[in-house]
Structure 1
Amino acid sequence: MPTPDQQRAVAESFGIDPARYDRNRPSYPNDLITRIVAGSPGPTVLDVGCGTGIASRQFQAAGCTVLGVEPDARMADFARSTGVEAEVSTFEAWDARKRRFDAVVSGTAWHWVDPVAGTAKAVEVLRPGGRLATFWHVFDLPKPIATAFAEIYRRVVPDAPFDFNTTKSMIELYEAQFERAADGMRQAGLTEPEIWRYPWERHYTRDEWLELLSTHGGMTPLTADQRAEILTDIAPALGDGFTLPYLTAAVTATT
């Protein structure tokens, strides 16, 4: 696993091309957004690690007033360009200035936040009955593609902190992340956390997957030459494209 400094380097690398990130990263199931809004005491939402505003815009479309907190100024600037109000800070260091929210959400970003300190900050800014909802997309690539990618990545980046050659499924690996989030919620005195699961799937053409892959955390910290070599070498393994089963999972509790 990456060390804390390596994790920070990855977390701050997504802004190299925020437009590509926003264009290719999938949004979240509408049923999840609706359930969070319905299960919160009001319409004010704080989006932690809002990135380019993908989830923020979904909550806005659901009638919410949204403020984003994002440590990467490039991502925050892009979010603002789409109509999302965003402040630049890590969540742990963010100054709430006595503002309060009905929901604190975090889409595919809570793993960059300290689960104890972050949850304590969420409790500070939530109104009574407010909801903390952290959620992620999880997927397993088809085995031939996953194997080819692991081999190519290790060859191009031999000192990589990531090990993509694992026998565990991604859902098995993410279960540990879900439990860390849930433990943070328990320690902060929230209600017993629930895990909501939403399976779905999407078909990707070869070019669509290469575009999406270039936005992933294993790719964004690399040099342009390294990224180009990996994308070129993995392309034949993708054929004309493939259908990818997703699971979007949320860990959530209330004050």
Structure 2
Amino acid sequence: MPIVSRDHPEPSPSKPHEARRMAESFGVDAQRYDQARPGYPPALITRIVTKGPGPDVVDAAPDALGIGPDVLDVGCGTGIATRQFQATGCTVLGVDPDARMAAFARSRGLNVDVATFEAWQPAGRTFDAVVAAQSWHWVDPSTGATKAAQVLRPGGRLAIFGHAYEPPAEVAEPFAAAYRRAAPDSPFNSGPARRPLDLYRAAYAKVADTIDETGHFDATEQWRFDWEQSYTRDQWLALLPTTGGLTQLRPDQLTGILNAVGDAIDSLGGRFTMNYTTLATTAVRTGTT
């Protein structure tokens, strides 16, 4: 989905990690974020914790987990993925730069340090897995993979994953038109209303290149999980304000976008089905120390 910029200019879309105000804006309504954002395919979570060879891996008992019990969740937000890893028997520490998101996660019983990953101090702690769910693009690519290697135990897994999702054209095009009206100077206006999957895959391939360049990991793997979810009008309009620069719009700008999208969903009978593809780039840390 396109990301709406704010009245103040941000770095180019090719360097989202420099857009700190946007990166740290999602906590404006942490409860809405937690309730509206989708989780991650259970097969993906299980594959990470079991080091499974393929997406057909299903259930695994906690004492059979391949990575051991300790997971670091980078950019954990409200803890959507964190709780999924906990459910497999892992002990998870979250790191997030937004104190509001961290406070919400803590209210759900999660352990969270408030910091950017780049500035976070591990204080001697090491982990069996470092994961980043829909958050790695906010991490400086020149330092992120190297720091992950520093806190991973030998044989530990780095797993970076997120959703590629575009609403049907009947929903995406009214959104794009309303977005252009709300933020006509946004650098994101040059893109199409719906981005092809290949653009997402190229982004994950670029992540793989930065991991390979560190020399601390075995060859990266690319994983893919396809699934779908049905949304009512109200469910989608609850999710939209949690995305990108929509968290930074004035109320009148946001209202105009939501009205346009709501009308489009009404024309489809009040609901639509979203086709999701969850992509992951993952690699195992080499070495014995």
TM-score range, shorter chain: over 0.9
**Structure 1 5/113 Cα, relative in aligned 2: closer, same or farther at 3 Å?**
closer
Q: Which amino acid is the alignment partner of residue 93 of structure 2?
A: L
Q: Is 1:109–2:139 an aligned residue pair?
A: no
**Structure 1 194/223 Cα, relative in aligned 2: closer, same or farther at 3 Å?**
same
Distance 1:22 1:233 in 2: 24
Task: Say if 1:119 and 1:188, in contact at 8 Å, map to a contact too.
Answer: yes
Task: Say if 1:139 and 1:170, in contact at 8 Å, map to a contact too.
Answer: no
Aligned to 1:79: 105
**Structure 1 125/106 Cα, relative in aligned 2: closer, same or farther at 3 Å?**
same
Distance 1:133 1:169 in 2: 24
Task: Say if 2:72 and 2:129, in contact at 8 Å, map to a contact too.
Answer: yes
Task: Say if 2:172 and 2:194, in contact at 8 Å, map to a contact too.
Answer: no
Distance 2:19 2:178 in 1: 22
SS in 2 for 1:253: strand
RMSD: 1.6
Aligned to 1:17: 29
Counterpart of 1:234 (choices 233, 253, 261) is: 261
Aligned to 2:54: none
Task: Say if 1:116 and 1:188, in contact at 8 Å, map to a contact too.
Answer: no
**Structure 1 173/99 Cα, relative in aligned 2: closer, same or farther at 3 Å?**
same
Distance 1:88 1:31 in 2: 29
Distance 1:140 1:41 in 2: 33
Distance 2:263 2:209 in 1: 42
Kindly state the Cα deviation for residue 164 of structure 1 after the two structures are TM-superposed.
Answer: 6.8
Aligned to 2:118: 92
Aligned to 1:36: 48
Task: Say if 2:117 and 2:139, in contact at 8 Å, map to a contact too.
Answer: yes
Q: Which amino acid is the alignment partner of residue 201 of structure 2?
A: E
SS in 2 for 1:244: strand
Structure 2's unaligned 5+ residue stretches are 1-11, 52-65
Q: Which amino acid is the alignment partner of residue 152 of structure 1?
A: A
CA deviation digits over 1:5-40, x for unaligned, max 9? 872221111010000000000000111111111114
CA deviation digits over 1:35-67, x for unaligned, max 9? 111114311000000000000000001100000
TM-score (norm 1): 0.95
Kindly state the Cα deviation for residue 188 of structure 1 after the two structures are TM-superposed.
Answer: 1.5
Kindly state the Cα deviation for residue 173 of structure 1 after the two structures are TM-superposed.
Answer: 2.0
Task: Say if 1:182 and 1:193, in contact at 8 Å, map to a contact too.
Answer: yes
SS in 2 for 1:204: strand
Task: Say if 2:70 and 2:90, in contact at 8 Å, map to a contact too.
Answer: yes
**Structure 1 167/155 Cα, relative in aligned 2: closer, same or farther at 3 Å?**
closer
Task: Say if 2:221 and 2:283, in contact at 8 Å, map to a contact too.
Answer: yes
Counterpart of 2:279 (choices 234, 243, 249) is: 249
Aligned to 1:225: 252
Task: Say if 2:17 and 2:140, in contact at 8 Å, map to a contact too.
Answer: no
Identity of aligned residues (%): 54
TM-score (norm 2): 0.84
Task: Say if 2:70 and 2:127, in contact at 8 Å, map to a contact too.
Answer: yes
Kindly state the Cα deviation for residue 116 of structure 1 after the two structures are TM-superposed.
Answer: 2.8
Kindly state the Cα deviation for residue 168 of structure 1 after the two structures are TM-superposed.
Answer: 6.4
Q: Which amino acid is the alignment partner of residue 74 of structure 1?
A: R
Kindly state the Cα deviation for residue 160 of structure 1 after the two structures are TM-superposed.
Answer: 2.0
Q: Which amino acid is the alignment partner of residue 171 of structure 2?
A: I
Q: Is 1:67–2:104 an aligned residue pair?
A: no
SS in 2 for 1:162: helix
Between Structure 1 and Structure 2, how many residues are aligned? 255
Kindly state the Cα deviation for residue 114 of structure 1 after the two structures are TM-superposed.
Answer: 1.5
Matches within 5 A, 1:171-210: 171-189=197-215, 190-210=217-237
Kindly state the Cα deviation for residue 241 of structure 1 after the two structures are TM-superposed.
Answer: 1.0
Kindly state the Cα deviation for residue 167 of structure 1 after the two structures are TM-superposed.
Answer: 6.9
